[in-house]
Structure 1
């Protein structure tokens, strides 16, 4: 299909209505004819060539060995990143892992804007999204936990769920994939409802909702730009992109045109968070130290697990947000926990061991899959997916940036193969080692870059992430990129707004909301 602004562009399904071709694949023409806005994947780089299945298998094994360093980013940002990812992109394509699939047939189920459609759906006026809202058409529904032992029922601390079932009543079911992203979604529901409550009740409900959504969206974009991105990307790259504009991600697109979603971002660059995942968390007073294992984080969710066999979250698994974000560093020393704040793993080429054995329910696999089935290995899935869409390689993207006026120093053979206390790739033949250097998978390449840059994305990876975020904000209905005069008004710290501020607004500024189980 002809490219848009010089890049290959693919028309994808609109939300809610899909036409079908033979074989059940979405038909973009049918969606367009039905008046549905086409959400699209695109390329910002060339098509690439795979290193081959043998090298993919060896890389995946090496990357899932566990280990890796601890970084300096509070662990909550790992799952804020997952929440952001679910707001931007969802591949709904039904193909077997390993099948070749052109990006033209990838089904994009999310608006590629930073507009929180994963929270709001299509809004309270849409028949299919009305179920996410209270009867007033302004507040989002929220759920309650169930009492267990000394831990009382907590109102407004769980996702809303279908009565009698554990299914979360939210626009994107992936936000119930693990407990931490589920609790993050709860915080965003509460944040929206708190903003609604701050507006005059005399406003018509449609206007009140729109004003609330605008304020929530702009503050959300602000914290991504000023709080999240500088923690995971070289701050100089973030500043350059937001000051001087983009070089490879739809650089000539009209500001209000619907953005496209670069496969280089969705299939590689923004999978950076997988390397930040810990194998356990100092979770709350009931599960301190290493007791909050990653396995439990899956189990006590409705999609990745069974909520421990219940239909709602039980109260002893509520997040103590003081342990996931550094409130003291944000000017709230009274919210410093007696135990340590969790810090994410360093962004590098290593994944913790549990990610080698993903619960099959998180990717639609069969429950009977063997424990060591490679399809349960997240690294194998990521690398295989890149091959399926002929994703550009790391060296190709370094050259693409150089051609577009962004000087990037390509990684050397020693850097790619040896890294810096990251994945140790062994057993490569001479030919396979040459293939790795010449055709390094983009995801592996940008993680190696970060590994060699103290755990922050730089070079190829930093540029793809910063530019995609900039474009997603620019093309949103409410946009801090287009509304250059916007400054945060919520929170208690003046012209700044971080995730700690959002949590304080969401929970009414009360320690009992930030740490609902109490204790030090």
Structure 2
């Protein structure tokens, strides 16, 4: 029996930054996007008091948990560039419609990296320090929340000894709890293929994921990545020798996991989405704009130019459908269904845990032949690649369900539900620097970037067609191009990889986040991975191969 429910009003959600935010159990985040930003030295920017922004949460609008959107705590950001202009909404509407008109082309990046990027984003961007709107916050206050570092606190929480986070761990306080799928038809319930869930209370509560960051259950693809990371940690624990005291196993395992994870991001993820030469330069010569010269042990801040601009690259990579597994092949894994079969955006098809027929086939999402396992190939024509990094988004992202951004019924199927429009307007809310301003800033810091010409920004290379704008609108847009669009246009003109402004912001932010982590490959340059099939190499496919014991029946339990 295949669980495939009819479409629901709120059954899908954009993979990154879709809209309003609220807090869930134990202050765990459940929404990815936000309307307000606490920028150090400026206070809250883009708060509900702002008028005419096109995105302001309306009085009385509440999130699905019943918590008022405007009551949500704000995350702390820094601004590395100058303030930019807020372009008129009618102009941004025209650009957004151009960006979501027609599908973008396929790339050769395995589609799994789309959702690995989302998992990483959740590792970077959450802080639960409580502060009222408009209040100032000190660096000491910042340290109380989850850190914008790449240390997997979205997986570990505050560790097994913390009273709240202890619920994520087994009794040995070393291993993380795993989930169990729901038996479907002749299939079986499978242990370790879903995130752990509460399993008590009413039907909705039973589906709540027992993980530190509920955003990692907002779609099936990122939830399966989280479940795989749980397996990774537990496999590392299992490799520790009998001589390691029980009280030390968790910390030893976490250090090994985090260092391998960071190595994978540096050597596998970043070079796939960014110009390789930029990755090499930053990790060799250091940063120029993101907290250059910072104390490596100090708490980093999250550049608003990264979070609202450059790292929204994942929107362009999303497919409208996937060849998900043997039960849902050849595009049957529609994007809408990936949200339905999650606990935050959907209802898991009505089951208390993930139905067994929706377990990911990792062979369809990552290329294991590239790490020496050609036997781990999906059937011909069943491999998923990401959409090309460019200025186009797939059509489903033009009509976000209102439940994904805390809207009201009148917002449904309007421009307010268009993801591209929301991104562009949100940048204006915080007066984000334009692409041209950031290019000038980088050059002033000695980074050799070239500002895109107006012709390049206008015409691109197979991306958004801006011919529908009026002459006045086009002139204004090309003079002060929103950073997100600018970075995607750079990638589009670079064969689908971030370069110039976009690559520099993303790579430097990653570098700073790794440097400041408790366990850091930047501060431990002697580290070399040893868990992959080849010593000194550790790609995402290596991580999965190790986590699933190199067995095809675990990487693809539903077969071909």
Question: TM-score, normalised on structure 2?
Answer: 0.83
Alignment equivalent of 1:326, drawn from 354, 367, 372: 367
**Alignment partner of 1:376 is 2:417:** yes
**Is the counterpart of residue 153 in structure 1 residue 189 in structure 2?**
yes
Name the residue aligned to 1:125: 161
Pick closer, same or farther for the CA change 1:435–1:11 going to 2, 3 Å: closer
CA change 1:135–1:313 in 2 (3 A) is: same
> Secondary structure of the residue that 1:333 maps to in structure 2?
coil
Residue 81 of structure 2 aligns to a residue whose secondary structure is coil
Q: Secondary structure at the match of 1:344?
A: strand
SS in 1 for 2:427: helix
Deviation track 1:427-449 (CA, whole Å, cap 9, x = no partner) reads: 32222112111111000000000
> Offset of 1:232 from its aligned partner?
0.4
What is the aligned partner in structure 1 of residue 95 from structure 2? 59
- Taking the aligned partners of 1:209 and 1:115, their CA distance within structure 2 comes to 14
- Cα gap change, 1:101 to 1:51, in 2 (>3 Å): farther
Secondary structure (helix, strand or coil) at the match of 1:341 reads coil
Asked if 1:344 corresponds to 2:389, the answer is: no
Runs of 4+ residues over 6 Å off in structure 1: 91-94, 100-105
Q: Deviations over 1:33-71 (max 9, x none)?
A: xxxxxx741011111112221211111111112311111
Distance change (3 Å), C-alpha of 1:142 and 1:301: same
For 1:306, which of 347, 350, 355 is the aligned residue?
A: 347
The alpha-carbon deviation at position 280 of structure 1 amounts to 0.6
CA–CA distance in structure 1, aligned partners of residues 250 and 128 of structure 2 = 29
Taking the aligned partners of 1:166 and 1:495, their CA distance within structure 2 comes to: 40
User: Contact conserved, 1:10 with 1:104, CA < 8 A, in 2?
Assistant: no
* Aligned equivalents of 2:553, 2:338: Cα separation in 1: 22
Residue 17 of structure 1 corresponds to none
Q: Identify the match of residue 360 of structure 1 among 393, 402, 421.
A: 402
1:115 aligns with 2:157: no
User: What is the aligned partner in structure 1 of residue 116 from structure 2?
Assistant: 80
Q: Relative to structure 1, is the Cα distance of residues 25 and 142 closer, same or farther in structure 2, using a 3 angstrom cutoff?
A: closer
Map residues 221-236 of structure 1 onto 2, 5 A cutoff: 221-236=262-277
Counterpart among 328, 343, 357 of residue 316 in structure 1: 357
Aligned pairs for 1:479-498 within 5 A: 479-498=520-539
Residues 515 and 493 (structure 1 numbering): CA distance in 2 closer, same or farther, change over 3 Å?
A: same
**1:239 correspondence with 2:280:** yes
Which residue of structure 2 aligns with residue 469 of structure 1? 510
Q: Give CA deviations for 1:146-200 in whole Å, capped at 9, x if unaligned.
A: 1112322111100101114111111111111111000000000000011011113
2:47 matched residue in structure 1? none
Counterpart CA distance in 1 for 2:356 and 2:503 is 39
Q: TM-score, normalised by structure 1?
A: 0.89
Determine if contact 2:95/2:469 at 8 Å carries over to the other structure. Answer: no
Pairwise mapping of residues 283-294 of structure 1 onto structure 2 (< 5 A)? 283-294=324-335
- Residue 426 (structure 2) aligns with: 385
Query: How many pairs does the alignment contain?
Result: 486
Measure how far apart 1:8 and its partner are. Answer: 5.7
Q: What residue number does 1:425 align with?
A: 466
1:167 aligned partner: 208
Q: CA RMSD in A?
A: 2.4
Q: Tell me, which stretches of 5 or more residues in structure 1 are unaligned?
A: 1-6, 13-22, 28-38, 95-99
1 CA distance for matches of 2:546 and 2:285? 33
